[in-house]
Structure 1
Amino acid sequence: METSGLGWCKAGLTAAGTVTLLALGVARASAAAAPHGDDVGPSTRTNVTNAMKGEALAHVAYREYAKQADRENLPEVAGLYRRTAHTELREHLDEQAKLVGLVGDNAANLRDSMSGESYEATKMYKNFAKQARKDGDRQAARLFSEIAKDEAAHHAKFAEAAKAVADPSSGAVIPTDVKAKRVTVRAGEPEVSSDRTLENLRTAMKGEAFAYARYTLYGDKARETGQPRLAKLFHRTAAVERTEHFAEEANLAGAVRGTAANLCATIKGETHEGTRMYPDYARQASSAGDTAAASVLTDTAKDELKHAKAFAGQLSELGGRCPAAS
């Protein structure tokens, strides 16, 4: 697999042969089925769910790109990335989550979280670690094994919380003793030797980004419903997924490059979403009679084109140019 390019799309629909932060394969445990809205058809639900995964990944990625811009003393670029990251999570993903009923009540949100953590702890990360060892990527194997243990611990804490929520008189207490380690994401090339390990890192990164987004929304729901301890558990676990797991995987995957390359990756992805992905999703939703979803997706397409234009302006200010598409 070629490792020099950074052309990407947030939804994972990039040209083959490029290594990117935002073209990362499948999302976190498909076994963790969230509650769905009843007002959209199955094709719209699938498309909106894919879109949410891309928006979650963009949010996390843009925060890291902003930090890289800070290191290069480019405050305007950093500010643009942070503002756009906020839009991706707090506008786009939030609107899409409402369309499909991603956030349920606290009990349902805990069940979803437990299912995802169980899958990752007992299957996904263990399998990734086994494959990495076989392929000679020992550092990745160790990381995958460590994260599997973390996810098992998260599952146990969510299970404790579920007992407390189900029966407040039981004496069960919602745990809040979760602490995230802040890992710096460095700009650089991949640090693994096998294509399979690299692809597994991408899959894991996208999953961690979506988990971060879901737990953030679940924590918001818990706070709104008078469950401050549960809110703290969700938000602290979300921080682990982003600042620790995602960051460690991003370093091994070479997910962040210099700002000029990051801008080119961003422009390509935002343009793809604004001109192709979201318009396609909107047309499909309209054909299925999901008019509210079609409206949201159409508006998001317009936003993404505005983002692409803004990032292109920043690249022009730097005197940079993106490589021609192959």
Structure 2
Amino acid sequence: MKKHNYSAGPCILPQEVFDQSAQAILNFNDSGLSILEISHRSKDFVAVMEEARALAIELLGLEGKGYQALFLSGGASLEFLMVPYNLMKENGKAAYLDSGTWATNAIKEAQFFGETVIVASSKEANYTYIPKDYEIPADADYFHCTSNNTIFGTQMKSFPKTNVPMVCDMSSDIFSRVIDFSQFDIIYAGAQKNMGPAGTTLVVIKESIIGKSGRTIPSMLDYAKQVKAESMYNTPPVFPIYASLLTLKWIKEKGGIAALEKLNNAKAALLYNEIDSNPLFKGAAREEDRSTMNVTFLLTNPEHTETFDQMWKEANISGIAGHRSVGGYRASIYNAMPIESVQVLVDVMKALASKI
């Protein structure tokens, strides 16, 4: 029986994507070859790359606005390095919002390149909220934020107004809600949390920001060279890009980001309502900053842990254990998670309350 997969990433993907990917592994486009063995320079795969890049731009509403989409390797963690390499000038300055573990890791990489200003942090509260009312230095080369914090279950509900170029790590909530994506100069996201399998990273970059750092950048880390090569500077991760394309096509078929946002809000409301109304549970993140992608919650009495764990496992639920930084539980309800699966978890929580 198919499990209800709440894993934070690699995560659940649409069943259609699994089915189509499986067929492509056996015989891609009736070529007699597997997607795993075709040349990345073949006509068939070049078409995949071109469609994936174009569709990402289309879904984000950035057509005709001077943006390029890249599918790169190294995960979002490599972008922690590439962003300052490409945007921070010699003797320059970057501004960062510290809202969680991955933001902290991005800050560490930026500090190798120059002055890195932390404009605000919620570390003292174990990242249970998103910092607000901070000032971004006007002379910063860029401002970096993380839209959704997978580990702690918090999400930025709005973004600052600034004349400084803005960079956003959207690894765990990209394509999940309608945003004015044109306010960002760079958006990046590891595919494995809401877009595809592990192995590729989507980078959406405004062309006008490229090549202004004054630095000599190694070729593989140079956005200008990657854009010029159309994501084919070296052999790209063929299969993860193909599966990501299938997921992007699924998003479009479902009605685009707006349609998925409506469903995501309904799933989150269903689960948070149970957390707030059931006396055996409590939310881990502050209510105003709760993520619609990663729902973190705790038992009010840890003595019920063994019983609850047994119940959700018997209900065929997987991947719900919380990160060690928070404890408790984390239900990742990405785009492909059906609301029926969320109802299964809610029913288990209700059953626990009846049992205790």
Larger Rg: 2
Structure with greater strand share of residues = 2
TM over 0.5: no
Structure with greater helix share of residues = 1
Q: TM-score, normalised by structure 1?
A: 0.25
